[in-house]
Amino acid sequence: MKKPHIILLFSDTGGGHRSVAEAIKEAIELKYPGQADIEMIDFIKVVGRTPLNKIPDLYPWMVRVPKAWELGFKITDSKTRAKLFQSSYSLYSKRSLKNFIRNHPCDLFVSTHFGSNAFLDYLSPRGPKMISVVTDLISAHSIWYDSRLDLCIVPSKAVYRSAKIAGLKKRQLKIIGLPISSKFADEKYSKAELKNKLNWPVNLPAILIMGGGFGHGPLEKIVDDIAKSSPKASLAVITGRNNKLKEALSKKNWPIQVNVYSFTKQIPQMMRCSDILITKAGSITLAEAFSASLPVILYDFLPGQEEGNVIYLVDNNAGVFAPNSSQIVSVVHNWLKNPQKLKRIANASFRLSQAKAADDTAEIIAKKINL
């Protein structure tokens, strides 16, 4: 008997779309081993005509101009404008979209990127359906919500409300959470054991510093200022694909232990054994931090898209917003000197966890393809 074939559509415009697709794939394979063929495709690179197929490569530069990003986000964030934007992309890529659908037969499309709604213009009523998994925690753009979706899985009540306003029906919506890898909730090893495996000091608190998949933000100054303030802690810095930053940090001499990593698959283990996370307000990073019970210091956010995440974190006492390095240093020392306070923030962070989201999404997909 032929296995059902699922195509996961994502794009590397930021690390979150791929991460969610990988988490869904992992959950299906764990819950239904060998029962479905799953294919992950960066559809913008495959389907998009030039220059659209260059967007994943240009993304790191696009987000470095936050005012322009905010303007673009807010100008297009309405049902009418989002539809116009989507239709323009669909029309421009019409031939390649049709060719892709014809050459990639499947039983279900699962999308973790709003751009793949363009496929809905060319899917046959008798062909595969599409499920969309929204990857923005609080402030999701209207372009996510297409009335032709079979189902739209959303991470929060805030996104559910915006989807209803955009015209999606109750039957098309499910609040599940943001799917993340089960590794972020894996308690197989203790903090001390994980630190030992990573060659981190076992007897010191660990501060994890991240700037997203592309190492955005003033990470070098943040690391410099924290290290020079000599907290009784070790630092771990993830520079993502920013090799220039990794090289610069690796050459420095620090008064405390600082471990520098580029793009790494060990983030779940690092989060599990860290005591404080310093990062930008990306939705997936926050979902992962909540699952790992991490107190969070946010130093930056993408206007429009991520500002709701900052409010959500602070209102739920799971962390603080500290937009400059002197504030970050102050918070770090305050938390380290007050372990009970740090524990309360860690507990508040864990209360926001949606650790079952990937499993629940896998179950929904399994029902759709009759596993």
pLDDT at 213 over 60: no
* Top-confidence residue, 186 or 322: 322
The DSSP code sequence of 258-269 is EEEESS-S-HHH
* Least confident stretch, 56-70, 226-240, 341-355: 56-70
Domain 182-351 has CATH 3.60.130.10: no
Averaged pLDDT for residues 127-140 = 96
3-state secondary structure of 312: helix
Instruction: Give the pLDDT of residue 217.
Output: 63
pLDDT at 332 over 90: yes
Instruction: Give the pLDDT of residue 83.
Output: 85
* Top-confidence residue, 268 or 188: 268
- Structure confidence by residue, pLDDT tens digits, 29-88: 999 999 999 999 999 888 877 776 666 666 666 666 677 767 777 888 888 888 888 888
| Most trustworthy range by pLDDT among 15-19, 115-119, 275-279 | 275-279
Q: What proportion of the chain, given as a percentage, has pLDDT over 70? A: 94
Contact 96, 108 (CB under 8 A): no
pLDDT at 23 over 60: yes
Calpha distance 325→331 (Å, rounded): 10
Collect all residues with Cβ–Cβ distance below 8 Å to 74 and sequence separation of at least 6.
304
pLDDT at 323 over 90: yes
H-type alpha helices, 166-253: 191-198, 219-228, 243-250
Instruction: Give the pLDDT of residue 47.
Output: 86
Averaged pLDDT for residues 1-22 = 90
Q: What proportion of the chain, given as a percentage, has pLDDT over 90? A: 72
Name which CATH class applies to 5-180+356-368: alpha beta
* 348-351, Cβ contacts within 8 angstroms, sequence gap of 24 or more: 348/316, 348/317, 348/318, 349/289, 349/290, 349/293, 349/294, 349/295, 349/296, 349/318, 349/319, 350/290, 350/291, 350/293, 351/316, 351/318
- Fold equal for 5-180+356-368 and 182-351: yes
Instruction: Give the pLDDT of residue 263.
Output: 78
Tell me the two tokens of residue 193. 């054991």
* Top-confidence residue, 12 or 57: 12
* Least confident stretch, 125-134, 152-161, 256-265: 256-265
The DSSP code sequence of 142-186 is GGG--TT-SEEEESSHHHHHHHHHTT--GGGEEE------GGGG-
Residue ranges per structural domain of the chain: 5-180+356-368, 182-351
pLDDT at 134 over 60: yes
Q: In the structure, what pLDDT confidence band is assigned to residue 346 with cuts at 50, 70 and 90?
A: very high
Q: Mean pLDDT, the chain, as a whole number? A: 91
Collect all residues with Cβ–Cβ distance below 8 Å to 3 and sequence separation of at least 6.
34, 35, 36, 37
Averaged pLDDT for residues 23-33 = 97
Instruction: Give the pLDDT of residue 216.
Output: 57
Give this prediction's pTM. Answer: 0.92
